[in-house]
Structures are given as C-alpha cells and as structure tokens.
Amino acid sequence: MSDELPEHVARNRAAWDVYAAEYEEPGRRNWAAMDEEPCWGIWHVPESEVGMLPADVAGLDVIELGCGTAYVSAWLAHRGARVVGIDNSEAQLATARSLQHEFGLEFPLLHGNAEVVPYPDESFDFAISEYGASIWCDPYRWIPEATRLLRPGGRLHFLVNGTLLMLCSPDDEDAPVEDRLLRDYFDMHRFDWPGDSAVDFHLGYGDWIRLLRANGLEVEDLVEVRPQEGATTRYPWARLDWARRWPSEEVWKARKSR
Ligand SMILES: C[S@@+](CC[C@H](N)C(=O)[O-])C[C@H]1O[C@@H](n2cnc3c(N)ncnc32)[C@H](O)[C@@H]1O
C-alpha cells in the first residue's frame, strides 16, 4: 500500500503512474532494437562508448532496479541473462508486460520499491539502473540494497544525470540547462522541483565514492558521457552544445568485494 511507502517513494509512484504514457512509444522503439547495439541515456550513446554491460551477460543473474518499460532487461534477456526487473510504477510495468507479449520475451517483473527488494542476499551477479533507482531512489537506501543483492565479485553499473548538469539546471524542470552554476554543490542529495510532485536524488562525487566504498563496493570506473555530434534527444531541458562541453550524464561502475 502506498501509505506504507517512504514519502519520496509514494510521491514518485504517483508521478510515474502519470508519466508512464509518454514512455510507451520510446519503450517500444527500444524493445524493437533488441538485436542492435544498445544505446544509453537521453542522447542514445552507443554501448561501445559507455560500457554499461559486462562483456558477456549470458548465464548471469541480473536485476534491473527501476526498469520502467524494461527494455534494458529485454536487451539482457535477449543476450542470455536471467533477468528480473523491479519498478515502483504499476503503469510502467503494464507497458513492460504488454511489450513482453508483443515481442515474445518474458522475464519476471516485480512491482515494488528498489530500496527494499524481496530477494535473498547474494541473488544476482549484475545489477543495473539507467535513470531508475539510480536517480529516483535515495542513494543511502538503494546502494546498500543493491550491494546486499549482489554476489561477491558482482557488478553494479548505473547511469545518472551529470553532477554539473544538476548544478546548472533551473528550477523549472523543462527549462534548458544554463552555462552557469545555479545551485550549491555541497549538501546535494534530494531535489524537490517546484510544481512537480516527483523527487529525485543526486550526490557529489566524493559522497558517491564514500557511499559505494562504505558498502563494500570498489569503484571501477566513472564514465562522463559525451554525446556524438548531431545527437538528438526528446528532453527539452537538454542542450547538445552544452553536453558536448560538459558531462550531462555519468555512468558509475562498481564491483562488490570478494
Ligand atoms: C526513466 S524510467 C527508467 C527506465 C528506463 N531505463 C528509461 O530510462 O526510461 C524511471 C523508472 O524508475 C522507477 N522508479 C522510481 N522510483 C522507484 C523506486 N523507488 N523503486 C523502483 N523503481 C522506481 C519509475 O517508476 C520509472 O519507471
């Protein structure tokens, strides 16, 4: 029941049940691209430049935290992984289920909060999140949970908005990112946007490193994503000229100690 959820999770559930309609068509396009090289984030940067996936996922137990329409899970299942997707929005999962039927590829989809996942410790080899738990869950809750779910040596890869992008983003969520710092770096954590009920979370670099390491995760890489020239996006706040100069997205790669 939504009353039992933490406040930010209940708010994000209500918000994503509304946003879900806008994600159906992009979700379908991504499912349909199952045979192609995966592309990531708002600029569709190819896997070869980002390395979101381990070299070989066949036979791995994988969980996608905040799977939305579950196209990332579909890409992984199609490549031979045993995948589970969890998402907080029943409406997003309804799209995911209908895409499973449409494309003839099924895997378990759970409705729930990725900060508290109903799987035993050490159930997975790989955990992934592209703008899922990685920005919509409280990192001080979902990182310990993702670590608990991983086997020793297991990997956690996640994609988030770039820290600089968050600092240069105006309060109006749809207004384009600016070329100047608009908010404080210190004490970054929870972002409440005026006029929007959803809540997202972003940390500074030192806080990310300390949080990952405190949970027994070794940071293997931080990829500052740079879109290709001519890249396009459907998000009105993003600017290609900006994103060619500064990282608008970041991929963190961490590994649980053996
Ligand atoms: C942007 S989608 C991510 C899926 C896909 N990679 C994409 O970029 O479209 C964000 C998803 O995170 C989910 N989400 C938000 N809070 C969550 C939580 N506490 N637990 C699990 N999923 C959550 C939302 O319901 C939404 O489906």
Q: At what angle do helices 205-214 and 139-149 cross, to 10 degrees?
A: 40
Q: What is the pLDDT of residues 139-197, one digit of tens each?
A: 999 999 999 999 999 999 999 999 999 999 999 988 999 999 999 999 999 999 998 88
Give 131 Cα–ligand 1 centroid separation in angstroms: 7
Q: Report which DSSP code applies to 198.
A: -
Q: How many whole angstroms from 126 Cα to the centroid of ligand 1?
A: 18
Within 6 A (CB) of ligand 1 lie 9, 12, 16, 23, 66, 68, 72, 86-89, 92, 113-115, 130-133, 136-137
Cα–Cα dist 76/73, whole Å = 5
- C-beta of residue 253 within 8 angstroms of C-beta of residue 50: no
Please tell me the residue having the least CA distance from ligand 1 atom 19.
113
Q: Probe ligand 1: pick from 2, 11, 16, max atoms within 8 Å of CB?
A: 16
C-beta separation of 202 from 166 below 8 A: yes
- As a whole number of angstroms, the distance between CA 239 and CA 164 comes to 13
Residue 10 has pLDDT above 80, yes or no: yes
Neighbours of 98 (CB within 10 A): 14
Pairwise CA distance, residues 126 & 153, whole Å: 9
pLDDT tens figures, 71-114: 999 999 999 999 999 999 999 999 999 999 999 999 999 999 99
Enumerate helices (H) and strands (E) in the chain, giving the number of each: 9, 11
Q: How far is the CA of 176 from the centre of ligand 1 (A)?
A: 22
Model-level pTM?
0.98
Q: What is the pLDDT of residue 174?
A: 87
pLDDT at 133 over 70: yes
* Confidence grade of residue 3 (pLDDT, cut at 50, 70, 90): low
Query: Is the predicted pLDDT of residue 1 greater than 90, yes or no?
Result: no
Residues 6+ apart with CB under 8 A from 215: 143, 144, 147
Residue 61 three-state SS: strand
- Distance (Å) from CA 136 to ligand 1 centroid: 7
Selection from 3, 33, 2 nearest residue 17 by Cα: 2
Instruction: Summarize pLDDT for 200-247 with one digit per residue, the tens.
Output: 999 999 999 999 999 999 999 999 999 999 999 999 999 999 999 999
Q: Using the predicted structure, report yes or no on whether residue 13 has a pLDDT greater than 60.
A: yes
Q: Whose CA is nearest to atom 6 of ligand 1?
A: 130
| DSSP secondary structure of 144-172 | HHHHHHEEEEEEEEEEEE-HHHHHT--SS
